[in-house]
Amino acid sequence: QFARLGRRLARQAAACDADDVGIDAFELLSAVFSIGGNSERPHRPGQIAWYAARVDAARERMDTDFVSPHPLAALAADAGMSSFHFARVFAELTGGPPHAYLLAIRHAAAARMLRDGAPVTETALACGFGNLSHFIRSFRRRFGVLPSRFK
pLDDT at 148: 93
Q: What is the pLDDT of residues 23-37, one digit of tens each?
A: 454 454 444 444 444
Q: What is the pLDDT of residues 122-146, one digit of tens each?
A: 999 999 999 999 999 999 999 999 9
| List of the chain residues with pLDDT < 70 | 1-43
pLDDT at 33: 47
pLDDT at 62: 96
pLDDT at 47: 85
DSSP collapsed to 3 states, the chain: CHHHHHHHHHHHHHHCCHHHHCCCHHHHHHHHHHCCCCCCCCCCHHHHHHHHHHHHHHHHHHHHCCCCCCCHHHHHHHHCCCHHHHHHHHHHHHCCCHHHHHHHHHHHHHHHHHHCCCCHHHHHHHCCCCCHHHHHHHHHHHHCCCHHHCC
pTM (predicted TM-score): 0.70
